[in-house]
Amino acid sequence: MTNEEARKDRRRLLGGLAVGTVAGLVGAAAGAAVAHDANAVPPPRIEGPKRFKGKVVLITGGTSGIGRASVIAFADEGAKVVFCGRRRPLGAEVEALVRSRGGDAAYVWADVRQDASIKALVAEVKRRHGRLDVAFNNAGVSVGRPLHETSVADYENVMDTNVRGVFLCLREQIPLMLDQGSGVILITSSVQSVATRPGSAAYSASKRGLLGLMQVAALEYGARGIRVNALCPETVDTPMVRDLGGAADLPDPAWAIAAKAWGRQNVPGLERMATADEMARAALWLSSDEMSYLNGSAVLVDGGMTSAL
Ligand SMILES: NC(=O)c1ccc[n+]([C@@H]2O[C@H](COP(=O)([O-])OP(=O)(O)OC[C@H]3O[C@@H](n4cnc5c(N)ncnc54)[C@H](OP(=O)(O)O)[C@@H]3O)[C@@H](O)[C@H]2O)c1
């Protein structure tokens, strides 16, 4: 690869995950035996102290990727988890997986773009458990196109899901936490809130917008016992990234090789994508009582990517 080609490759992120490179790797990957569907392999059980024993945790976007790994991780640490997403079969699957590990998780259908849906979701948390200790507002979508090729419908869907969806969640979650005088809210933003890339206009705008929401909420409710922060991951190996890379139909072994190559080229520092489980562990840590002074922070978990700016 020439320097110019390498430079172009580095400029692609979620909006064009080196599709050519990925396609070229299919042949090279033929016969490889590594299973690599990010949603297929449950993460290893977290042993040790149960930091969330008895705590009630709500996670949006728990049917896939980071949210799915987080449902499993919080339940492993003793939490009573309620999670949402729109794909009912995946919700049932995650619920069953958690139960098979001895955990407590309940799937509730909700679309974060709909006010009535979020009201019903938070009301269901209150009906079941009477309180809400941690809200992980994680559901999100992306679109990978140059700005002038991004349709208004795609732009609105990204903003409605990623920003309006979190706003609707905060509006319902905060009164519950104010009543009990405590709570932790974590929002999934992105490294793109700091360092963006071509092909992600709507996504980048949404993830930056989230930091505004997060900071205002942190100021308004910090002194009343509610901490509000954002998790900002660099590329995580999830179905979202695989779809954006045009690699949804690739055999798993080919994706494993493509993902590895992409990480080497695009993530200065660790030179690999993160796993969903690594982000789940970051979410656990940021939401835990150990982080009692963390408020209004956008925490980069980016493998070193932004250090290269
Ligand atoms: N993967 C990355 O590289 C990366 C990097 C930085 C930040 N993030 C952020 O991390 C979060 C999770 O992404 P992921 O990578 O784990 O992607 P993913 O595997 O595609 O998961 C996205 C989750 O969001 C849910 N969701 C989307 N639209 C929804 C809606 N309208 N209502 C309810 N749930 C909805 C999906 O559930 P249903 O489809 O079942 O509704 C799914 O559970 C997103 O906010 C994303 O922007 C990801």
80 touches 103 (CB < 8 A):
no
203 is catalytic: yes
Q: Whose CA is nearest to atom 47 of ligand 1?
A: 140
Q: Which DSSP symbol is given to 39?
A: T
Q: What pLDDT is stored for residue 37 in this prediction?
A: 66
Domain count, the chain: 1
Question: For the segment 157-193, what is each residue's pLDDT rounded down to a tens digit?
Answer: 999 999 999 999 999 999 999 999 999 999 999 999 9
Q: What is d(CA 105, CA 101) in angstroms, rounded to the nearest whole number? A: 11
For the Cβ of 65 lying below 6 angstroms from any atom of ligand 1, the answer is yes
Q: To test the ligand 1 pocket, which listed residue (90, 232, 238) has its Cβ within 8 A of the most ligand atoms?
A: 238
Give the Å distance between the CA of 1 and the centre of ligand 1: 33
Q: How far is the CA of 179 from the centre of ligand 1 (A)?
A: 29
CATH number for position 169: 3.40.50.720
pLDDT in tens, 256-302: 999 999 999 999 999 999 999 999 999 999 999 999 999 999 999 99
Q: Answer yes or no: is the C-beta of 236 below 6 A from any ligand 1 atom.
A: yes
CB atoms within 10 A of CB 101: 13
Give the separation between CA 166 and CA 112, rounded to whole angstroms. Answer: 7
From ligand 1's centre to the CA of 138, what distance in Å?
Answer: 7
Question: Comparing 21 with 83, which gets the higher pLDDT?
Answer: 83
Buried b (16+ CB within 10 A) or exposed e, 114-142: eeebbebbbebbeeebebbbbbbbbbbbb
CA angle 190, 192, 194 (to 5 degrees): 105
21, pLDDT greater than 70: no
Domain span at 187:
3-308
